[in-house]
Structure 1
Amino acid sequence: MPVRFRPDPFTLMLLGGLVLGTMLPASGPAATLMSGVATAAMALLFFLHGARMDRRTVVAGLVHWRLHLAALGATFVLFPLLGLAAGLLAPGLLTPALAGGVLFLSVLPSTIQASIAFTAIAGGNVPAAVCAASASNILGMAISPLLVAALFHAQGGGFDWGGIGKILLQLLGPFLLGQALQPRLGPWLGRRKALTGVVDRGSILLVVYLAFSQAAVGGLWARTPPSALLAMLAVDAVLLAGMLALTTWGSRLLGFPRQDEITIVFCGSKKSLAAGVPIANVMFAGQDIGSLLLPVMLFHQLQLLVCAALARRHARRPDAAAIAPAAPAGARILAPR
């Protein structure tokens, strides 16, 4: 198998967390303790994201407002519309829980590292990608919970209405505190990427393990037939293909140059597992979030494989060498976010 199509180590760890949660689920006092640790780890994660995000880079990219509106529109308007359509067109193929997971997937913000890395590889507008991806995640802390509340209420789904306030307290609050301390902590954290990487991946893995522990205890796999899992794979693939096509055609229709088109495609078509895990953990506290996270985890891997191939295809174009910007330091093709 070619190297570029091998799952990255983080994906393998996610699968390990899923299997471990299914085979050896946490329960009782142990689950309560681990849930508290996971909540604290998520708050620390978002504090570190705020502390290491360079405000000058974000502010400098804000001048390209048309591109950012296009990317945000794809993420928070077009993708949710496709998610709703998928639920209407395939009601008998997915279980209600998995259909809710697809809808939840559609309202999440874009990735950060992967969007920037793919844009750089493909020869897109990297500074604009940094700004667009960052804005998507910052705004997503408010927009995604509001969309969850609106869409799940419209379909009669259950969620914690107080989750919006919890998002502000547990995620946005630590992020803003980190931003306030960024001038002092940013350079220090920049030299210690291993520390932030451990918190990033460790907190997500812990929540995934707890989610599938709860799902196993609640009988997720017993009520999820293999046909529903295959249908979920097909729905995720169609959503990704549809968003890649629509962002490409839409960018050309709006007259964006090729560099900006690449940025819109890679920033507007992807969804962040790292943002989805804490949002689901807060807004659906006490419920079966394993079903919500299954479509997100699957989409995570699909988008990395497909976008890696698409970025390399862009890079092989005859005019790519003339316009390709330098890749940002530390950019990885198979980034977890």
Structure 2
Amino acid sequence: MSSWLKILRDPMIAVLSIATGLAIVAPAAGEAHAIAGTISSAAIFLLFLLNGMRIHRSEIAKGLRNWRFFLPLGLWVFGAMALMGLGFARLAAGWLPPMVALGFLYLGTLPSTVQSATSYTTMANGNTALSVIGAALINIVGVFVSAPIFALLGGGAVADAGPGVIVRVALLLILPFVIGQLVQSWTWDWISQRRAQIVWTDRIVIGIAVYVAFSGAVEQGIGQSMEIGTWTILFTLVVAFLALANIGVWLAGSALGYPFKDRISFLFAGSQKSVAVGAPLAALLFPPAAAGFVIAPLLLYHLFQLVAAAPLANLLAERSG
């Protein structure tokens, strides 16, 4: 029961619920949507600036040296799961609205989520240090490669994202991250003293991005286009995607011969998907009318991964002793 209560008390669940609920009852429309989009873009720039400041360069170097863990993790996250997402997108195309089905491909190309991957690795008595570095590096790589992989695999389905997409991604994700890395020597102490406040900055930025995206989806009639049967299919496919991701990455860790504690790190760093990158990136890749549809599988996956990870971590903790 304590695991379930911990999930329900997760602040990120509250933020996502509030943002989605607010978009349903009071969506930003017309001029208000344009203003909200501008605020969201500024917040995304701030989020990735802070990410650049707080991921220490020594951690990046340490992870790159451990190529035997990091390289397979990257190939799993951006290779195997991206192809899995493509398969699910094609499977869903006959059952779900086109942009919701495309959301499975988008989900598959996203990096891991650092915070929950690390937390559940710790809970399961896994190699926490390895999980921290691995998930952090995957997030850095994701800033650069998620959008190109999605465009490559999506082909014509994402051609209408607009010619300025790469420029927007570079200006609002890559540029602030690089600036954060460059000024890190001067800002490290300030950032270290304010980690709790910065975590809440992350959550608020993600909430804004989700609100703006879902406002567009509500304006385009997601409630009318998604009946109960359609939602049931979406829920079923997301659960199946999550199950396949967890089973696949666990078997991959075994095939690579990792010690049990390292397999736990590989499991959580490889199966968790980041709404912290996914929601802001969707705001840049897709027009407002489409972004809310595309991130629907991601938001459900985020909720279900928390529900599954807690009991799974407890089970692994018993086995690891």
Query: Of 65, 69, 91, which residue of structure 1 is paired with 2:93?
Result: 91
Q: Secondary structure at the match of 1:26?
A: coil
Give CA-to-partner distance per residue, 1:100-157, whole Å, 9 cap, x none.
1111111111111111121222222222212211111111111100012112225466
2:259 corresponds in structure 1 to: 257
Give CA-to-partner distance per residue, 1:167-208, whole Å, 9 cap, x none.
111111001101111122122111112331232111111121
- CA distance in structure 1 between the aligned counterparts of 2:163 and 2:122, rounded to whole angstroms: 39
Q: Secondary structure at the match of 2:222?
A: coil
Query: Between the two proteins, what is the percent identity of the paired residues?
Result: 32
**What stretches of structure 1 of length at least 5 have no aligned partner?**
321-337
Matched, 1:190 2:203: no
- CA distance in structure 2 between the aligned counterparts of 1:161 and 1:234, rounded to whole angstroms: 35
Q: For this pair of structures, how many residues does the alignment match?
A: 319
2:165 corresponds in structure 1 to: 163
1:273 corresponds in structure 2 to: 275
**For residues 7 and 237 of structure 1, do their structure 2 counterparts lie closer, same or farther at Cα, with a shift above 3 Å needed?**
farther
1:61 corresponds in structure 2 to: 63
User: How do residues 20-31 of structure 1 correspond to structure 2 at under 5 angstroms?
Assistant: 20-31=22-33
1:175 corresponds in structure 2 to: 177
TM-score w.r.t. the length of structure 1 is 0.90
Matched, 1:8 2:18: no
Q: Name the aligned partner's letter for residue 308 of structure 1.
A: A
Contact 1:74 1:269 in 2 (8 A): no
Query: Of 208, 226, 248, which residue of structure 1 is paired with 2:250?
Result: 248
- CA distance in structure 2 between the aligned counterparts of 1:101 and 1:157, rounded to whole angstroms: 15
Contact 1:4 1:305 in 2 (8 A): no
Query: Of 121, 126, 134, which residue of structure 2 is paired with 1:124?
Result: 126
**Offset, 1:6:** 2.5
Q: Secondary structure at the match of 1:222?
A: helix
- CA distance in structure 2 between the aligned counterparts of 1:230 and 1:12, rounded to whole angstroms: 22
- CA distance in structure 1 between the aligned counterparts of 2:156 and 2:37, rounded to whole angstroms: 29
Q: Name the aligned partner's letter for residue 304 of structure 2.
A: L
**Offset, 1:290:** 0.7
1:326 corresponds in structure 2 to: none
- CA distance in structure 1 between the aligned counterparts of 2:91 and 2:168, rounded to whole angstroms: 33
Q: Which has the higher helix share?
A: 2
Q: Name the aligned partner's letter for residue 267 of structure 2.
A: V
**For residues 286 and 4 of structure 1, do their structure 2 counterparts lie closer, same or farther at Cα, with a shift above 3 Å needed?**
closer
**Offset, 1:257:** 1.3
User: How do residues 16-165 of structure 1 correspond to structure 2 at under 5 angstroms?
Assistant: 16-155=18-157, 158-165=160-167
- CA distance in structure 1 between the aligned counterparts of 2:59 and 2:158, rounded to whole angstroms: 41
- CA distance in structure 2 between the aligned counterparts of 1:289 and 1:249, rounded to whole angstroms: 33
**Offset, 1:299:** 0.4
**Offset, 1:251:** 1.3
